[in-house]
Chains A and B, each alone.
Chain A
Amino acid sequence: GENVEQHPSTLSVQEGDSAVIKCTYSDSASNYFPWYKQELGKRPQLIIDIRSNVGEKKDQRIAVTLNKTAKHFSLHITETQPEDSAVYFCAGHTNTGNQFYFGTGTSLTVIP
């Protein structure tokens, strides 16, 4: 099945700086890559997603890039704010079994 790896596991940045989280996947048939934000004790919430026919997508301070050849995708958060502090998960979706495979998460801390 698909294997999604996520790095780094923890990340601390100063408020206003940028944060980048990277994920790699193994199944070249994967076609959809969502990113989730999970605050402590809460459910995962989708923050941005990208499909395999697109190379980049942006939504205000958040962007995702996808390199299909290298099988990796990244989350970019600019002008970070303390409320961006949370655990972020990447995921890959493959039509083989219609399953989502999640990375192990990145704990982001934004220092005021």
Chain B
Amino acid sequence: NAGVTQTPKFRILKIGQSMTLQCTQDMNHNYMYWYRQDPGMGLKLIYYSVGAGITDKGEVPNGYNVSRSTTEDFPLRLELAAPSQTSVYFCASSYSGQGPYEQYFGPGTRLTVT
């Protein structure tokens, strides 16, 4: 199993540009999450999904959108990038069942908006 994979690893955007961060997991996990981690800080939840077709906002959803058309994929869309969105973005997945259970994190995407 590859686990949770994310692309790209690094990206520099200009203010106002858009991009999609890709996240895929091959563990058949029903729960998926997007976090951002600012320097020296903990992880803040942007959006999460409890299954295909279902998404919900986390603590810091403004400026982002998500979709979940399949169990495996959970892309994060940034529209009109702003310098405040400079951060490291982590995708995570977990199985729920009778849980909660451990979250598995992807390697992260380092995004700079200038």
Q: What is the interface of chain A, defined by CB distance below 8 A to chain B?
A: 1, 6, 31-32, 34, 42-46, 49, 89, 93, 95, 97-105
* Interfacial chain A residues near B100, Cβ < 8 Å: 31-32, 93, 95, 98
Main secondary structure of the interface of B (DSSP, over half): loop
Interchain residue pairs A-B with the least CB separation, the first 10: A102-B42, A43-B105, A102-B43, A104-B42, A32-B100, A93-B100, A46-B102, A44-B105, A105-B42, A43-B107
The minimal Cβ–Cβ distance linking A93 to chain B, given in whole angstroms, is 5
Q: Pick the contact of B103: A34, A103, A104 (CB < 8 A).
A: A34
A90 to B100, CA, bound (A): 15
* Interfacial chain B residues near A34, Cβ < 8 Å: 102-103
Known A89-B42, A105-B41, A105-B42; contact A100-B50, beta-carbon cutoff 8 A = no
Q: How many A-B residue pairs have CB under 8 A?
A: 49
B104's closest neighbor in chain A, by CB?
A46
* Interfacial chain B residues near A104, Cβ < 8 Å: 41-42
Q: Are A46 and B103 in contact (CB under 8 A)?
A: yes
